[in-house]
């Protein structure tokens, strides 16, 4: 039995056990119910030793004979049944397609099982934590989001791909990047550079920064999706590559970095597979405007939402380091933020030819 077959068998057993527990409740003439681990801030802790966010043990009950819970109870088993069918047939599908697979009108009523995909997506996450089975193990994937190039050869579902020869487009990072799907081959990479935006990634790719620097160049289109975060995690731990994160100088950019580093609150149950606690924040920092001569007219004034977000971040235990507190407080005091593209005012290739090489040479980063 292959590793993939063993995982499928184990996941099927978990789904069947969930269903059998409900059947037992019915046979006992009890209210059918399941326990769903809470994916909320109140059930999240920061493990200072591991330096990652972890989910606690609090749960919430979801029962059938409860007016406020019956719909979600039904939806949970609809999704579980669809995933069981996918696993048994050895097929995978997108979370978008799963929404359409499970959406239908109930009998002669006007009630649909799901109205929009934003109803089915949280159910998938609930099922993940309840079964302790990842989305990939449920044979589900999300749309591709993120591109990568660099001095490495990979094997993607049996096909050998040279990431050195991807032209201007890059290799689209899939949602499922587990070792049984994506294998690392020969490489000369010295580190991973994760940039926030595709437009900035394109500048680095066009200037062949990855070739000069021998780095894996990747982006996640803003907040990196699970596939990108998992792939970065694998390159760090399996290949020993340092990870540098380049984001906007604003609260959202800082939050993106924190998600890469510690994990996210919503996906705390996956932190061990995604977080890179030693990831380095390479910029843009609040003091870069002065150090690198970024014109003040390229700055953007903080709004109340930005200030509120900074106050929230200052309360997070993973931002208590004095250097990070100074970074956040400096931004709040200056009342200004800068997008990465502001560096282009110094020259279209200033970021690839001067800014980042200098940052790396001077080890000017935050951890």
pLDDT single digits (tens) 63-114: 999 989 999 999 999 999 999 999 999 999 999 999 999 999 988 888 899 9
What tokens appear for 185 in the block?
């081959």
Q: What is the pLDDT of residues 119-137, one digit of tens each?
A: 999 999 999 989 988 888 8
Check residue 1 and give its pLDDT. Answer: 46
pLDDT for 178 equals 87
| Cα distances (Å, whole numbers) of residue 335 to 148, 248, 330 | 34, 15, 8
Task: Report how far residue 145's alpha carbon sits from residue 166's, in angstroms, rounded to the nearest whole number.
Answer: 16
Q: Before 284, cis peptide (omega within 30)? A: yes
Strand partners, 244: 193, 280
Is the pTM value of this prediction over 0.85?
yes
- DSSP conformational letter for 267: T
Q: What is the pLDDT of residue 206?
A: 96
In Å, how far are 172, 276, 358 from 199, measured between CA atoms?
15, 24, 21
Domains and CATH numbers, the chain: 3-31+66-141 (1.10.10.10), 147-361 (3.40.1360.10)
Residues annotated as part of the active site: 100
pLDDT tens, residue by residue, 234-245: 999 999 999 999
């Amino acid at each position: 039995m292959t590793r993939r077959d063993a995982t499928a068998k184990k996941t099927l057993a978990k789904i069947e056990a969930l269903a059998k527990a409900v059947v037992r409740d019915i046979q006992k003439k009890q209210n059918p119910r399941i326990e769903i681990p809470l994916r909320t801030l109140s059930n999240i802790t920061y493990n200072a030793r591991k330096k990652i966010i972890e989910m606690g043990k609090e749960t919430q009950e979801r029962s059938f004979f409860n007016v406020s819970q019956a719909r979600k109870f039904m939806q949970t088993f609809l999704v579980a049944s669809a995933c069981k069918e996918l696993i048994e047939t050895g097929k995978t599908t997108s979370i978008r397609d799963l929404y359409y697979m499970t959406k239908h009108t109930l009998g002669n009523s006007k009630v649909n099982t799901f109205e929009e995909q934003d109803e089915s997506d949280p159910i998938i996450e609930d099922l993940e934590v309840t079964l302790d089975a990842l989305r990939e193990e449920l044979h589900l994937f999300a749309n591709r989001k993120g591109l990568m190039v660099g001095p490495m050869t990979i094997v993607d579902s049996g096909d050998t791909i040279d990431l050195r020869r991807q032209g201007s487009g890059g290799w689209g990072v899939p949602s499922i990047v587990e070792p049984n799907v994506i294998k690392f081959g020969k490489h000369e990479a010295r580190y991973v550079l994760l940039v926030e935006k595709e437009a900035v990634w394109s500048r680095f790719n066009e200037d062949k920064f990855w070739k000069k620097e021998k780095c894996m160049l990747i982006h996640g289109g803003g907040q990196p999706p699970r596939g990108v975060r998992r792939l970065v995690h694998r390159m760090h731990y399996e290949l020993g590559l340092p990870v540098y994160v380049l984001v906007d100088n604003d609260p959202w950019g800082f939050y993106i970095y924190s998600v890469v580093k510690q994990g996210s609150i919503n996906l705390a149950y996956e932190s061990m597979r995604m977080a890179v606690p030693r990831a380095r924040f390479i910029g843009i920092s609040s003091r870069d405007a002065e150090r690198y001569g970024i014109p003040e007219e390229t700055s953007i004034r903080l709004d109340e939402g930005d200030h509120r977000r900074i106050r929230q971040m200052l309360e997070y235990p993973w931002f208590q380091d004095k250097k990070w507190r100074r970074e956040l407080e400096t931004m709040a005091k200056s009342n200004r933020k800068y997008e990465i593209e502001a560096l282009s005012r110094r020259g279209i290739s200033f970021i690839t030819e001067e800014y980042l090489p200098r940052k790396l040479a001077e080890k000017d980063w935050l951890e």
